Structure 1
Amino acid sequence: MRNPTDPIALGIIGAGIMGERMLNAILSEDGAPVRVAALWDPAPAALARIAARFPGLPLAPDAAAVVAASDCVYVASPPASHLGYARAALSAGRSVFCEKPLAVDLADARAFVALAGSRGAVNFPFASSLGVAALVQWIAQGAVGAPRRLTIEVAFARWPRPWQADAAGWLDAPREGGFTREVVSHFLFLSRRLLGPLHGLEASAEFPEPGRSERAIEATFRAGDVPVVLRGRVGATEQDDHNTWTLAGEAGAVRLRDWAIAESRRPDGRFEPAPDAMPNERARPIALRRQLEGVARMTHGEPHHLATLSEALEVQEIVEAILARGTAAA
């Protein structure tokens, strides 16, 4: 019988960017709440690369072997495969930690969420972000007052971003990819978590290149009672990735910039970072380690802070509604 204080046995399906980041988070920490039980990817080249990067990593011959070796299965494969692996894990009595989006088909995602209940969660790292924690503290202290508007802006020099080039086959395809699913979804989750249900959507999306993902979106909706304006565009910045989530109210404004940096607006209108703010390169591993603590609690059936399946489904509903309003170039 497993000792309840032992690390959770986490199986990983997918040896791409997120699989590797999660491995780094697990293996770089002494006393981590999870251990790697097994890893598998259907691409031999991906397995070879990850094995060279992490010698001694327990590799599995197939997804079924990952499930058999695990207490919880982390699904880090492309979106179209998520629910097949997740259902196999649930059928074997395992919990599931899944990358977003849950699925490429909303009806399938709804059915899965109804089946899974509390036995799964989704990897939205804002649930564990130090920058978000600073925003929450400022808001509670009255820095914003009564919220009046939320503005979300994302911009990219190109899509996919350079470090995603190996996954461009699905990341730039309209069925699974695009920056709305990959990036905007995180900020929709943040809005839902801090302000309330997302509703009242009006949106447009541009698909100017046949067979490729969107290049621009605009949307308005509400998060709880707060009006939201969302804008995203490829080619609108020289940076690989630039984003802001800005909440303004009658008393002031706070924002999260470039994934991790919490800032508050000064009386002169400039935004000032929190004293302990750090760039995403340093903040991301900390957030992922905190996510793993949530994975352990979820697998034990304890309360956790991770994004629930219901929250992730609500985000996916908004994402797909935005994209469904897309238009192609004449």
Structure 2
Amino acid sequence: MKKLGLGIVGCGNIAMTYLRNAALFRGLELRACADLLPEQAALRAAEYGLRACAVEDLITAPDVDLVINLTIPTAHAGITQAALDAGKHVFTEKPLGTTVEEGRALVVLAEARGCVLGSAPDTFLGAAGRLARQVIEGGAIGRIVTGTAFMMGRGMEHWHPNPAFYYQKGGGPVLDMGPYYVTMLVNLLGPARRVMAMATSASQNRLITAEGPLQGTTFPIGTPTSLLSLIEFTSGAVITFGASWDVFRHSNAPIELHGTTGSLRLPDPDTFGGTISVSHGGDAWEDLPTEERLYGQINWPYAAPDRANYRMLGIADLAAGLAVGRPPRASGRLALHVLEILEAILTSGETGAPVPLTTTVHQPPVLEEDEARAYRV
């Protein structure tokens, strides 16, 4: 089988995960990398036996079939558009764009060019997401009525030496971390139809305490740092989603779903594995670990692994779909719907009014075990 030639644009920290994990999947071959800092691209190229080149050269390279866009969020749309214009398939890190308008234009462009557009997160394809789908579709908790999802933490300034960009428009806890939670919810519940939210911030300036030249300085924020929302799904389920970088400690589960006959608890959707728990009719939680399941095995970080990280799984699924004419599960249309939900949270938080959604998407098909296993080398 002809391998899909991959080129990575953006050679920062997240690139290390993609570069390392590429060897786990069949049908993929890393060929080139590029970065605005040529020395960064040269470093990654030397480490992984790739060709370092300029961004525009990578995008037009004949041996690059798919561009992996790992740039900062504000650059996602521009790089993706350039690659699609060059006739390349694209898989981009989240979010698809910083606005729904940007994301919609990319989806339309990809279809017009006959290219496939995929987007992170692909974590819902991991062991925990697949097992949760199996539990729900097996009827273990009945029809899902309500639930909660919480992404809460201190933010980035205590560990990141230059964190200001996380706190500007196009960033914040909703757009930066929200895609993991909302994508998992759409995977489990299907599309949403309406959003309501409220927003606040602990401070208009943040103090950098991480080591580095900016330690002890402050920067202004440009987006709310705490938001609580209600997401109404077309299935009728109503889910509370909270996202905050103003929380030092909490005890909320990442995701809990409550149905007519039981409840389901999920681990952090920013990982591919972890333990899901089921309560049948109010009984004690029954833990279902995924460490022995495909794409649930603990493998990350390298030195002292404590979680499952199989980024590239979505690209392997995209490549397999190309071979048979099937759209990727982590598709541009899924990412667009998720982006609209997130943008609606921000809009509703600002205006105080409910926001109806204009996009929809088919619930991603279940990734069956045999199919998932076939992606492995």
Structure 1 length-normalised TM: 0.85
Q: Note if 1:234 corresponds to 2:245.
A: yes
Residue aligning to 2:316: 293
Q: 1:306 to 1:166 in 2, by over 3 A?
A: farther
Q: Residue in 2 aligned with 1:258?
A: 268
User: In structure 2, do the counterparts of structure 1 residues 311 and 71 end up closer, same or farther at CA, with 3 Å as the change threshold?
Assistant: same
- Per the alignment, in what secondary structure is the counterpart of residue 37 of structure 1? strand
1:218 to 212, 228, 247: 228
Aligned to 1:6: 2
Quick check: 2:232–2:238 contact (8 Å CA) kept in 1? yes
Taking the aligned partners of 1:258 and 1:20, their CA distance within structure 2 comes to 21
Query: What is the DSSP-based 3-state SS (H/G/I as helix, E as strand, rest coil) of the residue aligned with 2:163?
Result: helix
Q: 1:25 to 1:55 in 2, by over 3 A?
A: closer
Following the alignment from structure 2 to structure 1, what is the Cα–Cα distance between the partners of residues 50 and 313? 22
2:109 corresponds to 1:115 = yes
SS class of match (1:179): helix
Tell me how far 1:166 sits from its aligned partner: 5.4
Equivalent residue, structure 2, for 1:22: 18
The aligned counterpart of 2:84 is 90
8 Å Cα contact 1:75-1:96 kept in structure 2? yes
CA deviation string 1:252-294 (max 9, x = no partner): 11121223322212666543431434668465433x2432321
Equivalent residue runs for 1:93-172 within 5 Å:
93-117=87-111, 119-156=116-153, 158-160=154-156, 165=160, 168-172=163-167
- Cα deviation for residue 243 of structure 1 reads 5.3
Comparing 302-311 and 186-195, the one that deviates more = 302-311
Cα distance in 2, alignment partners of residues 171 and 243 from structure 1 = 24
Aligned AA (1:274): L
Give the residue type in structure 2 aligned to 1:21: T
Q: Establish whether residue 186 from structure 1 lines up as the match of residue 197 from structure 2.
A: no
Render the CA deviation track for 1:187-229: whole Å, top value 9, x for unaligned. 1112222212212211012233253243211011212211111
C-alpha separation in 1, matches of 2:277 and 2:162: 33
Alignment CA distance shift 1:119-1:51 (3 Å): closer
Is the Cα–Cα contact under 8 Å of residues 76 and 96 in structure 2 kept in the other structure?
yes
Moved more, 261-270 or 204-213: 261-270
* 1:5-58 CA distance string (max 9 Å, x none): 13210111111232221111113x3x6321111111102453355356x25332
Distance in 2 separating the partners of 1:242 and 1:41: 38
| Structure 1 unaligned spans of 5+ | none
Number of residue pairs the alignment of both structures matches = 316
* One-letter amino acid matched to 1:256: L
Q: Is the 8 A contact 2:89 2:116 kept in 1?
A: yes
Give me the identity figure in percent.
Answer: 23
What letter corresponds to residue 187 of structure 2 in structure 1?
A: R
Q: Is the 8 A contact 1:33 1:292 kept in 2?
A: no
Q: Which moved more, 1:55-64 or 1:247-256?
A: 55-64
Q: Which residue of 1 aligns with 2:200?
A: 206
Q: What one-letter code is carried by the residue in structure 2 that aligns with 1:276?
A: T
Query: 1:6 & 1:283 partners in 2: Cα distance?
Result: 32
Query: Residue deviations 1:152-189, cap 9 Å, x none?
Result: 11111x212766x256242222x222121121222111
| Structure 2 unaligned blocks of 5 or more | 206-219, 301-305, 351-377
Find 1:65's aligned residue among 48, 55, 58. Answer: 58
Selected match of 1:320 from 343, 347, 362: 343
Mapped partners of 2:258, 2:80: distance in 1:
39
Answer 1 or 2: which has greater helix percent. 1
Q: Cα RMSD (Å) of the superposition?
A: 2.8
2: CA distance between counterparts of 1:187 and 1:250? 22
Which SS does the other structure have where 1:307 is aligned? coil
**Equivalent residue number for residue 31 of structure 2:** 37
Give the corresponding residue for 2:374. Answer: none
- CA deviations 1:123-164 (Å, max 9, x no partner) are 1123411101111111122211121112111111x212766x
C-alpha separation in 1, matches of 2:167 and 2:324: 37
Q: For residues 200 and 6 of structure 1, what CA distance do their matches in structure 2 show? A: 43
Q: 2:49 and 2:15 mapped to 1: Cα distance?
A: 16
